[in-house]
Structure 1
Amino acid sequence: MKEGPKQAGAAKQLFYSQRVAPYVFVLPFILSFLIFFAYPVVSTILMSFQEVLPGQTRFIGFDNYERLWNDSFFTALKNNTRYTIWTLLILIPLPLVLAVFLNSKAMRWSGFFRSALFIPTLTSVVVAGTIFRLIFGQTDLAVMNMLRHAFGFETINWLADSTTGMFVLVVLATWRYAGINLIYFLSGLQTIPQDLYESAEIDGANRWNRFWRITVPLLKPVTIYVITISIYGGYAMFTESYMLWSGNHSPNDIGLTMLGYIYRSGIEKNELGFGSSIGLTLLAIMLVINIIQLKFFGLFKKEED
């Protein structure tokens, strides 16, 4: 009976010790990381070398990866790459220029325009995709076809051609995601001291020189972040395509994406092993692309003393 209180006191002292307490505080993160990240990643790697069927699995080596060369993998990769390149060319310079204008003291109704440009970001992708499918419909009464009629052009099926279909996807992405990138650039602009602009103006620098010599270099960290998340968003795009084409089967796979290909293989065809190999290949591609762009911006260079 005398050892009970001593043991309880020792346990309490151990729990409140400076050595144990940090591990106790980080334990929830470690458990969540192991359960919800590490375990799924390891399982995906294992399944990529397996044929997974209901109730049974068997190792098949690199057969799943060899199938990538003879399937729709490159079609999906091409679609995502085109989409990513177009979104980078539009969703980096356009929000940056808009942010510069909205950050200017001479800009009137700045708060209104910020809110108006950010509202599309709050819209559900499902709702936005449905609305754009109606706007770019194939009937004569679709909004964009009516606009074409006003200029003397004929009705077209926007979502039946690879070029026009990609145009619709990029327009949807611009409408929905320009606002969030605008906020990122605005937050970066507000950290730049105004003294730099005033000093440059005194030295005779015009607005264009101040933009290229001060704004662009000092926004480099924000720009790198926006480019990184844009690359990820471009290759992870799925819902927009799924809603525009009312499913995962577009004409000649012009709207097939990498995630759509994973969904088709792993869920629709119940080939989880093959779907896992697609996902890991996509992960490797995105990793390589981001390392290249981070290397290009000099993020891995050692700081000089």
Structure 2
Amino acid sequence: MENASPATADRTAGINGRRKLTRILYSQKIAPWLFVLPFLISFALFFAYPVISAVNMSFQQVLPGQVQYIGTDNYEKLWNPIFWKAIVNSSKYTFYTVLILIPLPLVLAVFLNSKTMVLKNFFRSTLFIPALTSVVVAGTVFRLAFGELEGSLMNTIVVSLGFDPQRWLRSEALGMFALVLLACWRWIGVNLLYFMAGLQNIPKELYESADIDGANTWNKFSRITLPLLKPISIYVFTISIYGGYSMFTESYMLWSGNRSPNDIGLTIVGYLYRNGLEQNNLGLGSAVGIVLLLITIAVTIVQLKLFGMFRKEE
């Protein structure tokens, strides 16, 4: 039998190589890693590496053309009234937005999911449109609406109700009210869609069985709707916490800069921006970012613990 030609041998080797590669790619050990590889790469490039770099930079004094390790000096500088003011402001903002942006969209979603509700698509679209609006545009409009002049929208409303005009953005309480109102206006529609998706995945047979058993509306809501919406509620809770503590643009646009009166609108990210970019102190800015990351992780773990996410299922 004659020996195969070189071309035939190369073709056979190529076929065998492709078969081996196919077996490797379709193996039960390798295939799962191939599916998660894009996530692992993006996580390493856009989260892990920046966090590691920020941790390293937080122990440095970064000046143009000069980098020097200074130990924990940047963290020691954070023990000042301005930074604590930023933490308090961000925490208040997060608390108020979570307090409103969880129950209110849930109740609205239940109404919109009802069989007797009319114009469902109209109300869904109307509530979601603010989320499509640029935060820069929204912040500018709200700054004009909360102006100090008597002809501004909010002062026109309060004067018509018999109250005196207010200096909205110069008061700590009223400034926080404006920030929370802006957040609710923008994000109610987004959270509404999350809850709507969860409601539509609840089997209708459960409600029909409850009707047969004589359950009223409150019993069906508390015994069926709320327990089955627990995963969605925890997800919305978590992203609301992260969104609250990472808020910056709304405050920046509402006060037309990062210098609000007596820092009533200063947030943790605003303090990071002030030190890291405005004052070119990247080391201190990195320390602020690491503290912000630790705060959000701690708050998230606490709320997950309270919701029982770490409890083993029976």
Instruction: Flag structure 1 segments of 5+ consecutive residues without an equivalent.
Output: none
Corresponding residue for 2:115?
Answer: 105
Match of 1:18 in 2: 24
Structure 1 residue 142 and structure 2 residue 141: aligned? no
Identity of aligned residues (%): 60
Cα deviation per residue 1:149-190 (whole Å; 9 max; x = unaligned)? 212222221000100000000111111100000000111111
- For residues 241 and 298 of structure 1, the distance between their equivalents in structure 2, rounded to whole angstroms, comes to 34
TM-aligned CA distance change 1:139 to 1:232, over 3 Å: same
The answer as to 2:290 corresponding to 1:266 is: no
Aligned residue for 2:247, secondary structure, equals coil
- Given the alignment of the two structures, is residue 56 of structure 1 paired with residue 66 of structure 2, yes or no? yes
Greater C-alpha Rg: 2
How many angstroms apart in 2 are the aligned matches of 1:226 and 1:31? 26
Give CA deviations for 1:11-33 in whole Å, capped at 9, x if unaligned: 76665451697567766554444
Instruction: Find the aligned partners of 2:37 and 2:163 in 1 and give their Cα distance.
Output: 64
Separation of aligned partners in 1, 2:119 and 2:219: 26
C-alpha deviation, 1:5, in angstroms: 4.9
Report deviation, 1:70.
2.1
In terms of mean alpha carbon deviation, does 45-54 or 145-154 score higher? 145-154
What does residue 246 of structure 1 align with? 256
The answer for the alignment partner of 1:281 in structure 2 is 291
Unmatched runs of 5 consecutive residues or more in structure 2: 1-5
The answer on 1:159 being equivalent to 2:137 is: no
* Partners of 1:167 and 1:289 in 2: CA distance: 23
- Which residue identity is paired with 2:24? Q
Q: Give TM-score, length-normalised by structure 2.
A: 0.90
Does residue 73 (structure 1) correspond to residue 45 (structure 2)? The answer is no
The 5 Å alignment of 1:25-36 reads 29-36=39-46
CA-based RMSD of the aligned residues comes to 2.2
Matches of 2:262 and 2:286, distance apart in 1? 24
CA distance in 2, matches of 1:31, 1:86: 36
| Structure 2 letter corresponding to 1:269 | Q
Calculate the TM-score normalised by the size of structure 1: 0.93
Deviates more, 1:11-20 or 1:115-124: 11-20
The letter for the 1-side match of 2:131 is: T
Q: Which amino acid aligns with 1:215?
A: T
Change (3 A) 1:144 1:187: same
What number of residue pairs does the alignment pair up? Answer: 303
Which residue of structure 2 aligns with residue 171 of structure 1?
A: 181
